[in-house]
A and B are shown apart, each in its own frame.
Chain A
Amino acid sequence: MSEFEPKIIGFLCNWCTYTGADLAGTARIQYPPNIRVIRMMCSGGVDMVYVMKALLEGADGVLIGGCHPGDCHYQSGNFKARRRVAILKKILQQLGFNEDRVWLRWISASEGKKFANTVTEMVEHLKKLGPNPLKLNGNI
């Protein structure tokens, strides 16, 4: 049986993490191909409904990437994202859903290496957790 390959949906901020991911590519840094990237203009634009939809439709993990605190292109989007993620994680935790499937990370445009490492780490972590229990559940 082939090893479980987790699927990650990445909501990456255009100005930092997405550019960081681009740098990882142009610098030819190797990282697992498990992430599907969705470019957002700002991590503050990631409504938690997208994150939950991804999880309910069977994503094994969701990575939200934003600029470092203080570096947001729109001043404060990442701070707002941080609060929303805190609320989401609290709710998931209350419902006994492993909140560690959702990661919020600050990765700047120059941190291609950090982006690659984060994805690698996350894939390893999700392999340990196993598939998302909601995967392919048509009842929800």
Chain B
Amino acid sequence: MTIVIQNVSEIKDLIKKSLENKLYDAVLGLFWDNNNNTVHLAITSEPKNIDKLEILCPSMPVQAARVISNIKFTETDLRVLCIVKPCEMRAVVELVKLKQIIPDKLIFMSMDCGGALEPEIFKKLVEDGKAPVSIYLKAYDNFIDFSYETEHPRFACKICDKCIPKLSDLRIRSYGKTKYIEPLTEKGKKFLMDVTESTLEQINFEFYDREINKLVKNRVEIRNKEREIFKKEVSSIDAFTKELSACIRCHNCMVNCPADYCKECIFRSPVFDHPSENYSLWLERKGYVRLPSDTLLFHLTRLNHMSTSCVSCGMCETSCPVGIRLTRIFSFIGEETQKIFNYESGRSFDEELPVATFREKELDKI
């Protein structure tokens, strides 16, 4: 049960119609900036703004799930159509389980994702007149994976083997210029029936899935290779310290991480504003104190507290001002901690969060 679309702008027409017909009150997604040199996340209720909407866009300036959980939409009746990338959808799933997003009034549209570029690279390509034409069309229309030598996908996208949305209400598939909007839930189906007069078609996606499986297989291989490199390079605590050596503890990775939702986080509190007498004690004992202190503790704490919910979106790395390769640390270590509990972040609404539950008989050897 799917709608076939000949051109991306027809998807925009559907969205515009859903606003005009008051099916939804607002649309949240990536819009072109007034200067047309980059995209930013925004929410709009005006149908005319949909012209500036970019649905299949190789940029992720912020994590939409993080933004949605900040807004919460609890004190309003706004019904919002949210256009999110698959990793943002996985983060939405985690945040729904953490009770930070209440999805009742929201509908999520996601797409088979061609990945994203670092925001500054995206902006530069647009200014040079290159994006979205080349990269965007290639990655999103033809399933040709990025050429890693000449193009610059984010590391997180390079190793992403979960580029197909599984739990959004609607999924956009691309095959060349032809797009398909496929409902994955009852809510999505109702939306499509309300917004279009044409009947939904039953489509055999065998040809399509074959192509996409090839791409995913390729990504799994890249991921395995990068994991090996990571394990070799970061095999000791000294190597880990070296990896983090440039950290200035600005907390950007935490602020932009969708899994770091906690308002009472110890690193948002004054706990680490140590009184000066502590420094004199440390100097007595160690003779040398790094400033700001506790950078390693900060990252280890994040690993302990959120790695079981890490969705590998790579926003930590995108937001890091000193270029620490955080994605591979969190993605590969998160993978391991999730494995203990046979859990996978963003896989299902029903799986319990590992740290929110327990079994009486488990982990005998701890």
Binding site for B on A (CB under 8 A): 47-49, 52-53, 56, 69-70, 76, 79-80, 82-91, 94-97, 104, 133-134, 136-140
- With a cutoff of 8 Å between Cβ atoms, the chain B residues found around residue A89 in the complex are 366
Residues of B within 8 A of A138 (CB): 282, 286-290
B245 surroundings in chain A (CB, below 8 A): 139
Q: Which bracket fits the contact residues of B?
A: 35 or more
* Contact for B366 among A53, A85, A94, A97, CB less than 8 A: A85
Distance in angstroms between the alpha carbons of A70 and B294 in the assembled complex:
36
Q: Which of A52, A80, A87, A136 contacts B307 (CB 8 A)?
A: A87
Q: Which residues of chain A are within 8 angstroms of B240 by Cβ–Cβ distance?
A: 95-96
B236 within 8 A of A: yes
Residues of B within 8 A of A140 (CB): 241, 290, 295-297
Residues of B bordering A, CB below 8 Å: 234-241, 245, 266, 282, 285-290, 294-297, 300-301, 303-305, 307-308, 332-333, 336-337, 340-341, 354-355, 358-360, 362-363, 366
A-B contact pairs, 8 of them (CB 8 A): A49-B301, A49-B304, A80-B358, A87-B307, A90-B336, A95-B236, A134-B237, A136-B286
A68 to B327, CA, bound (A): 38
Contacts of A85 in B (CB 8 A): 366
Contacts of B332 in A (CB 8 A): 94
Q: Is the CB of B340 within 8 A of A49?
A: no
Residue contact A136 to B297, C-beta cutoff 8 Å: no
Contact A82 B336, CB 8 Å, known A49-B304, A95-B237, A140-B296: no
Closest 6 CB pairs of A and B: A138-B288, A79-B358, A96-B236, A140-B296, A48-B304, A97-B237
Nearest residue (CB) in B for A91 is B303
B234 x A95 contact (CB < 8 A):
yes
Given contacts A49-B304, A95-B240, contact A104 B366 (CB under 8 A): yes
B360 near A79 (CB under 8 angstroms)? yes
CB distance from B237 to the nearest CB of A (A): 5
Residue A56 contacts which of B236, B296, B336, B363 (CB distance < 8 angstroms)? B296
**Chain B residues in 8 Å Cβ range of A95:** 234, 236-237, 240, 333
B290 touches A91 (CB 8 A): no
Q: Contact between B236 and A86 (Cβ–Cβ < 8 Å)?
A: no
Q: Is the CB of B340 within 8 A of A90?
A: yes
CB-nearest residue of chain A to B244 = A140
Bound-complex Cα distance A48 to B266 (A): 12
Known contacts A83-B363, A87-B337; 5 further A-B pairs (Cβ under 8 A): A82-B366, A86-B363, A87-B308, A89-B366, A97-B236
How distant is A130 from chain B, measured CB to nearest CB, in Å?
A: 14
Given A133-B237, A138-B289 in contact, is the A86-B360 Cβ separation under 8 Å? no
- The complex places the Cα of A87 from the Cα of B309 at a distance, in Å, of 12
| Contact residues of A: prevailing secondary structure | helix
Residue of B nearest to A48 (CB): B304
Contacts A49-B266, A138-B288 given: A91-B337 contact, CB under 8 Å? yes
Q: Quick one: closest A residue to B245, CB to CB?
A: A139
Contact partner of A94 (CB less than 8 A), chosen from B238, B336, B355, B362, is B336
**Given A95-B236, A96-B237, does the pair A83, B355 have CB atoms closer than 8 Å?**
yes
**A74 smallest CB distance to B (angstroms):** 13
A104 contact set on B, CB distance < 8 A? 366
Chain B residues with CB under 8 A of A97: 236-237
Q: Are B237 and A136 in contact (CB under 8 A)?
A: no
Q: How far is the CA of A31 from the CA of B300 in the complex (A)?
A: 32
**Residue of A53, A79, A87, A136 with most chain B CB atoms under a 10 A cut-off:** A87
In the complex the two chains form, is A52's CB within 8 Å of B297's CB?
Answer: yes
* A133 nearest CB neighbor, chain B only: B237
Could you tell me if A84 and B285 are in contact, using CB atoms closer than 8 angstroms? no
Query: Which residues does chain A contribute within 8 Å of B241, judged by CB atoms?
Result: 137, 139-140
Are the CB atoms of A87 and B304 closer together than 8 Å? yes
A138 to B279, CA, bound (A): 12
- Neighbouring B residues of A76 by C-beta, 8 Å: 358
Contact across chains for A86 and B340 when beta carbons are under 8 A apart = yes
Could you tell me the distance between the alpha carbons of A79 and B341 in the complex, rounded to whole angstroms?
A: 14
A87 and B358 contact, Cβ closer than 8 Å, known pairs A96-B236, A136-B285, A138-B288:
no
Task: Using A49-B266, A138-B290 as known contacts, say yes or no to A87 and B355 having CB atoms under 8 A apart.
Answer: yes
> A48 vs B303: C-alpha distance in the bound complex, in angstroms?
10
Give the CA-CA distance A94 to B332 in the complex, in Å.
9
- Interface residue from A70, A84, A137 paired with B304 (Cβ < 8 Å): A84
Alpha-carbon separation in the docked complex, A134 to B240 (Å): 12
Q: Which residues of B contact A53 (CB under 8 A)?
A: 297
A82 touches B337 (CB 8 A): no
